[in-house]
Amino acid sequence: VLRFRSLLLAQLAETETARRGAVLEAEHAAAALLVREAQLLHSGATAFVRSQALVTRERRCRDEIAVAELDERVALVRRARAEQSLAEVTTSPVKSRRLPSSGEVQSRDWSPRDTRDASAAPSPRERVLSDVLVELTRVESRTR
């Protein structure tokens, strides 16, 4: 009976050792799976972050392009306004005539359409335009 009991205890110990080994192997395999899953999650997260960075960069580039296009439009509007102002200045009712003796230009700040009193003082804008016209005429005569 003692021998039988010793054999049973030995088999029981062997079975318990095998069971513990199997449990350890299963835990090791589960841990390896968890590590692999964590690696995949990490690489997925890294890829997601990179893709988000690319999307953000793309948006920033598109925004910069849009701003540049708006700047171009603003420049075109400013140019059109400047050209319109130039056209208004060059078609201004301000007249000029040459003095016969000196060849200098004398400006007048009235036009046939002018309805105000001829003795009234010219507006600051008219004075500036007149001065600009006089100076342009002087420069033209010097370059001839």
Give the pLDDT confidence of 59-74 residue by residue, as tens digits.
999 999 999 999 899 8
Query: Counting beta carbons within 10 angstroms of the beta carbon of residue 134, is it exposed (0 to 12), middle (13 to 18) or buried (19 or more)?
Result: middle
What's the pLDDT at 1? 83
Would you place residue 110 in the very low, low, confident or very high pLDDT band (cuts 50, 70, 90)? very low
First-last CA distance in the chain: 139
Q: Each residue of 92-103: pLDDT tens digit?
A: 665 555 445 555
As a three-state string, the secondary structure of the chain is CHHHHHHHHHHHHHHHHHHHHHHHHHHHHHHHHHHHHHHHHHHHHHHHHHHHHHHHHHHHHHHHHHHHHHHHHHHHHHHHHHHHHHHHHHCCCCEEEECCCCCCEEEECCCCCCCCCCCCCCCHHHHHHHHHHHHHHHHHHHHC
pTM equals 0.41
- Report, as an integer, the average pLDDT of 16-44: 96
Q: Does residue 108 surpass a pLDDT of 60?
A: no
Q: How far apart are the C-alpha atoms of 83 and 136, rounded to whole Å?
A: 17
CB neighbourhood size of 110 (10 A): 16
Residue identified by tokens 């054999």 is: 7
The mean predicted confidence, pLDDT, of the chain is: 81
Percent residues over pLDDT 90 in the chain = 45
Mean pLDDT within 76-94 = 82
Token pair 């335009």 is found at: 129
The mean pLDDT of 24-33, rounded to a whole number, is 96
